[in-house]
Structure 1
Amino acid sequence: MKSRFKWLATLVALFTCLGIGADFSLNEVNAKKDDGTLKVAMEANYQPYNWTQTNNANGAVPIEGSKEYANGYDVKIAKIIGQELHRKVEVVKTEWDGLLPALTSGKADLIIAGMSPTAEREKAINFSKPYRNSTFVVITKINSRYANAKKLIDFKGAKLTAQQGTFHYDLIKQLKGAKRQPAMRDFAAMRQSLISGTIDGYVAEDTESTSFKMVDPDIKSIPVSKMAGFHATKEESVTSIGIAKPNKALLKSVNQILATIPQAKRVRLMTEAVKQQPKTDNDKKGKKAKSEPWLVSMWRQYGGMILNGIGMTLLLASVGTIAGFFIGLAVGIVRTIPTPTTGGKRWLLKFVNWLLSVYIEIFRGTPMMVQAAVIYYGIAQFWHLNIDRTVAALIIVSINTGAYLAEIIRGGIISTPEGQFEAASALGMTHNQRMWHIILPQAIKNCLPSITNEFIVNIKDTSVLSIISVSELFFVGSTIASQTFKFFPTYLTISAIYLILTFTITRIFNLIEKHLQGSKNYNLMANQVQVGTPKDMEAKN
């Protein structure tokens, strides 16, 4: 038995080392908010307004909780504001749907992400004076049947879409006869859909078409804002800075600073951003750059980001599985405690079992993505506790895994033959002694395949933590794909990395499981030593 527990301890130590080896120090994870920092929320994935890069070239600023940097027109505006406020700018990278929760929960001080001050958004947050004016276009292929549209009715039959959570999607209704497709997550997805032909076009601002044409000359923008019958309010045609409603002083300061930035300077900043946006395999004239294998090119430019993503994925999966194992072990043991004979203890145990059942049902019955959003943003918004996103992710994976493993371990305990319990009781063992020395070693060994499966699931399911912008492998892959427009090669590479990780973990656990099984030869007669010859035995008799 001791040998088996040594192997379990070795397993824990192995994956703890994997987590430590991910190069994410505790100082980074538990870093306290610096009062001298201006935290600005943005996607860092919407060129030329904002994007992600691997270094601080062209004045890029650091992204919170990562080794990456953000740049773009929004970043340039943020730096001007930060300079006037004497605060260092740091980007809080999050998906579009997470921008408002990040601001209202106190994770960010400002939203500078090309956001328009619509009436619905103004119910939740305040907006500054506009810092950018835009017109609207339909972006399509240059050889599309809709490329020469002159009137709104010319888009009849066109499959059009827009970004999810934006008013752009509602503007499609003004294009009579157009077939409105489901809204898409971001501009990178829309660009890829247009290139692959699954849509005929998408509605966006004129800046998006300028940025897209820099990397793909085969697209065309149709200025629908100039067509008769098209209407967009003044609020929908500008972009402003989002500020939490209680922060009136910051709103006043931001408006004062924006008033000092002349229009000519804003135009110059946008021109610079368009020129500085990440390049793809195409140069500005649309000609292919000198041949270099796409895999080599991607690793040369983004290899550091990918390795950091792998490290974060292993950290979350290993720590989450180990912590979840001990949570599940504790819950499984408690839920298999025999019913006490005294009334008080019996009711206490029932109450504890009820609480544990609620915990298990909640975390097994809701998606991890929802749990992540509730824990990360909800705790900050309602209890004013600003938990680091990596710490929040570790907590989420751990308690989610614990809920699943609790039932797995409970099943392993109750599936142990009843005779094992009876024999241990006959030897005078207490319940704790029976569990520790007899039942648990067998139950854990029997549960090991399920624990292995849970570890593999955690490696893959960490991808849902992109909802709180944890820079794990999938989130990094999405960023690379959106900036290189190499969607298939990038996701194929990410899939291969996931396969290597899960294959390796499976083989490690298979070796451990094989060792715990022990020898299959239990023929006791084969181990007996025969003393003397048969004649000697007869003589003795």
Structure 2
Amino acid sequence: MNRRRFSVIALIALFISFLGAPLITRADEKTPEGELRVGMEAGYAPFNWTQKDDRNGAVRIQGDKAYAGGYDVQMAKKIADKMNRKLVVVKTEWDGLLPALQSGKIDAIIAGMSPTAERRKEVDFSDPYYESQLVIVTRKDTKYAKATSIKDFAGAKITAQLSTFHYDVIPQIPDVNKQEAMDNFPAMRVALESGTIDGYVSERPEGVTAESVNSDLKMVEFDKANGFQTNPEDVQVSVGMRKGDSDMAQVNQTLAGISQDERVKIMDKAIKDQPATDETQSASGKKENVFVRILKQNGSMFLRGTGVTLLLAIVGTTVGTLIGLLVGVFRTLPESDNSAKRGLQKVFGWLLNIYIEVFRGTPMIVQSAVIYYGIAMAFGIDLNRTAAALFIVSINTGAYMSEIVRGGIFAVDQGQFEAAHAIGMTHGQTMRKVVLPQVLRNILPATGNELVINIKDTSVLSIISVSELFFQGKSAAGTNYMFFQTYFIICVIYFVLTFTATRILRVVEKKMDGPSAYVRLDDVEVAVGEDK
């Protein structure tokens, strides 16, 4: 293997190292002294929600210009004050709360989480800071709205949130048509309004909220004899912390100082203060287009989410294309005559094949969870959330682009390689001056397709709570309860982004192709349609 071949290998290794370097902070990084990092969805009103300002005691969300409000936030403030720490709200998807806690990205979960026996195996829970009862939220225009017992829901299509005990109690309903669990409450409310399900299991505060802001929904309550049979800890809500955390005693001491009456007042105020209630009241006072109202309320969130989506898609596609080109060039290197160098070349080729097969053969949402949470849990390496997202999109795109580049290289006639070598050009010169210019044009449509795919697929990064467009839209829908309208706006924004990207790439393709035909006029070659 000559010096040029080693240069290509070194360049690939250096590029990957450079890409990964900014992601790693310190393996033993702890919470900054004086801070209490609390994880919550910020989309489960009235326990927690997202709003655009600090009204009613809301707290700024880490890495975002939005604020978190609700019952959980007020309880978290009391705990942080007692501990003489600054409260930092880390907006995290429900499925990501436990991994975030275990990996050290947050110090506590205060998100309406019940201390079930299964969860106690993984984390420690405080004394309960709220106790509720289970209800079923259904539509007001169905027969189930008049139910007085869970038996009245026999045959109904019922679901609940994924990874909650709410889903586990559904079989207590006789002959129930148990549906697949859903990721979050906004998704369940959309399914309920569309008729996909007949109801979902929830807790009373959420049911009160749903009923108060949407006149089409009905919260069905049950007495003890006719309702769900639960353990006390199932209907309690507690603070989750890492196993053996020494701060747990202080948290319990703080909670013990909050009377039951005060807790009820805080919850009642949270129900009254949530943004959905404000929008309902404003809508009843004056006529205003609902889409205009949503944009006024959440336009800045959508704009920031759009910016993050474009950043991830453009940078990820660009870096991924560079990775694909480097891998593609390496794969065209002829075997060295030296056995040791040839062996090294094969080993590196096998590693590249593993990389390509793994990242092409697994979903990006799984890759995101493994890289962001798995590395932190396994090796204690803390990754910056946005940088990790850029890394994930880039290496995922790189795996696909490497195969696209390989196809582009094969599309170049073999005779051009032979002709270049016949006139004395080296392999590197052949690739740079003859092959790659044609490859770039050949792969341009596929590269554009990858950009469009990345614009849409960045939505899966909500699993690691990256504030891209879909994540912001879901937060808004969970707050304003106008699901169809909010998701329709998000759909339009995605379409505008992909349509614009497609049109721009078409223009670039035409520019690279040049004129379609040439004519010879007065012994001067002139492009058709161009000035002489």
Aligned with 1:400 (options 377, 381, 396) = 396
1:270 aligns to 2:267 (yes or no): yes
Contact preservation (8 Å) 1:364, 1:404: yes
* 1:241-271 residue CA offsets vs partner (Å, 9 max, x unmatched): 0001142x11112111111111121111111
CA shift in 2, pair 1:231/1:292, >3 Å: same
CA shift in 2, pair 1:358/1:228, >3 Å: same
- 1:353-372 equivalence runs, <5 A: 353-372=349-368
Aligned to 2:502: 506
Paired letter, 2:348: V
Aligned with 2:343 (options 340, 343, 347) = 347
Contact preservation (8 Å) 2:148, 2:226: no
Contact preservation (8 Å) 1:336, 1:414: no
Which secondary structure state, in structure 2, belongs to the residue aligned with residue 435 of structure 1? helix
1:55 aligns to 2:56 (yes or no): no
Contact preservation (8 Å) 1:281, 1:288: no
* 1:198-223 residue CA offsets vs partner (Å, 9 max, x unmatched): 32222211111221222124443333
Contact preservation (8 Å) 1:317, 1:462: yes
Q: 2: CA distance between counterparts of 1:404 and 1:196?
A: 37
- 1:328-347 equivalence runs, <5 A: 328-347=324-343
1:258 aligns to 2:255 (yes or no): yes
Aligned to 2:209: 211
- 1:87-102 equivalence runs, <5 A: 87-102=85-100
Aligned to 2:234: 236
Q: 2: CA distance between counterparts of 1:529 and 1:372?
A: 57
Paired letter, 1:69: Y
Paired letter, 2:146: N
Aligned with 2:280 (options 279, 283, 290) = 283
- Aligned CA RMSD, in angstroms, stands at 2.3
Give the deviation of 1:289 after TM superposition.
Answer: 4.0
Aligned to 1:466: 462
Which secondary structure state, in structure 2, belongs to the residue aligned with residue 101 of structure 1? helix
Aligned with 2:436 (options 427, 430, 440) = 440
Identity among equivalent pairs (%): 52
Paired letter, 1:238: Q
Aligned to 1:146: 144
Contact preservation (8 Å) 1:115, 1:239: yes
Give the deviation of 1:226 after TM superposition.
Answer: 1.5
Give the deviation of 1:421 after TM superposition.
Answer: 1.0
Aligned to 1:81: 79
Q: 1: CA distance between counterparts of 2:392 and 2:126?
A: 35
Which secondary structure state, in structure 1, belongs to the residue aligned with residue 181 of structure 2? coil
Aligned to 1:120: 118
Contact preservation (8 Å) 1:140, 1:200: yes
Which secondary structure state, in structure 2, belongs to the residue aligned with residue 89 of structure 1? strand
Contact preservation (8 Å) 2:186, 2:483: no
Contact preservation (8 Å) 2:38, 2:106: yes
1:295 aligns to 2:299 (yes or no): no
Which secondary structure state, in structure 1, belongs to the residue aligned with residue 332 of structure 2? coil
Give the deviation of 1:102 after TM superposition.
Answer: 0.8
Aligned with 1:377 (options 362, 373, 376) = 373
Paired letter, 2:95: D
1:389 aligns to 2:385 (yes or no): yes
Q: 1: CA distance between counterparts of 2:522 and 2:257?
A: 92
Aligned to 1:135: 133
Give the deviation of 1:482 after TM superposition.
Answer: 2.2
Which secondary structure state, in structure 2, belongs to the residue aligned with residue 506 of structure 1? helix
Paired letter, 2:90: V
Give the deviation of 1:191 after TM superposition.
Answer: 2.3
Q: 2: CA distance between counterparts of 1:385 and 1:287?
A: 48
Paired letter, 1:253: Q
Which secondary structure state, in structure 2, belongs to the residue aligned with residue 301 of structure 1? helix
Contact preservation (8 Å) 1:463, 1:474: yes
Give the deviation of 1:522 after TM superposition.
Answer: 5.2
Paired letter, 2:74: K
Aligned to 1:173: 171
Contact preservation (8 Å) 1:47, 1:72: yes
Which secondary structure state, in structure 1, belongs to the residue aligned with residue 144 of structure 2? coil
Which secondary structure state, in structure 1, belongs to the residue aligned with residue 162 of structure 2? coil
CA shift in 2, pair 1:526/1:418, >3 Å: farther
CA shift in 2, pair 1:289/1:363, >3 Å: farther
Contact preservation (8 Å) 2:214, 2:481: no
* 1:275-312 residue CA offsets vs partner (Å, 9 max, x unmatched): 1111268636x983411112221111111001101100
Paired letter, 2:310: L
Which secondary structure state, in structure 2, belongs to the residue aligned with residue 268 of structure 1? helix
CA shift in 2, pair 1:332/1:35, >3 Å: farther
Q: 2: CA distance between counterparts of 1:360 and 1:67?
A: 37
Contact preservation (8 Å) 1:73, 1:273: yes
Contact preservation (8 Å) 2:31, 2:37: no
Aligned to 1:413: 409
Corresponding pairs, count: 501
Give the deviation of 1:98 after TM superposition.
Answer: 1.0
Contact preservation (8 Å) 1:135, 1:225: no
Which secondary structure state, in structure 2, belongs to the residue aligned with residue 512 of structure 1? helix
CA shift in 2, pair 1:479/1:387, >3 Å: same
- 1:7-46 equivalence runs, <5 A: 34-46=32-44
1:70 aligns to 2:68 (yes or no): yes
* 1:438-461 residue CA offsets vs partner (Å, 9 max, x unmatched): 111111111111111111111111
Aligned to 1:486: 482
Aligned to 2:445: 449
Unaligned runs of 5+ in 1: 1-25, 531-541
Paired letter, 2:419: A
Q: 1: CA distance between counterparts of 2:104 and 2:457?
A: 27
Which secondary structure state, in structure 2, belongs to the residue aligned with residue 227 of structure 1? coil
Contact preservation (8 Å) 2:159, 2:167: yes
Give the deviation of 1:68 after TM superposition.
Answer: 1.0
Aligned with 2:303 (options 307, 310, 317) = 307
Contact preservation (8 Å) 1:161, 1:201: yes
Contact preservation (8 Å) 1:408, 1:447: yes
Give the deviation of 1:141 after TM superposition.
Answer: 3.1
Q: Which has the higher mean CA deviation after the structures are superposed, 141-150 or 298-307? A: 141-150
Q: 2: CA distance between counterparts of 1:413 and 1:522?
A: 27
Which secondary structure state, in structure 1, belongs to the residue aligned with residue 53 of structure 2? coil
Q: 2: CA distance between counterparts of 1:445 and 1:42?
A: 47
Give the deviation of 1:526 after TM superposition.
Answer: 4.5
CA shift in 2, pair 1:229/1:272, >3 Å: closer
Q: 1: CA distance between counterparts of 2:159 and 2:139?
A: 14
CA shift in 2, pair 1:520/1:289, >3 Å: same
Contact preservation (8 Å) 1:150, 1:227: no
Which secondary structure state, in structure 2, belongs to the residue aligned with residue 279 of structure 1? helix
Contact preservation (8 Å) 1:424, 1:434: yes
Aligned to 1:18: none
Paired letter, 1:103: L
Larger radius of gyration: 1
Q: Which has the higher mean CA deviation after the structures are superposed, 477-486 or 429-438? A: 477-486
Unaligned runs of 5+ in 2: 1-21, 526-532
Q: 2: CA distance between counterparts of 1:442 and 1:202?
A: 56
CA shift in 2, pair 1:319/1:230, >3 Å: closer
Aligned to 2:105: 107
* 1:380-436 residue CA offsets vs partner (Å, 9 max, x unmatched): 111111111101100000000100111111211122111211121122111111111
Q: 2: CA distance between counterparts of 1:61 and 1:281?
A: 18
Give the deviation of 1:147 after TM superposition.
Answer: 2.8
CA shift in 2, pair 1:336/1:33, >3 Å: farther
Paired letter, 2:386: T
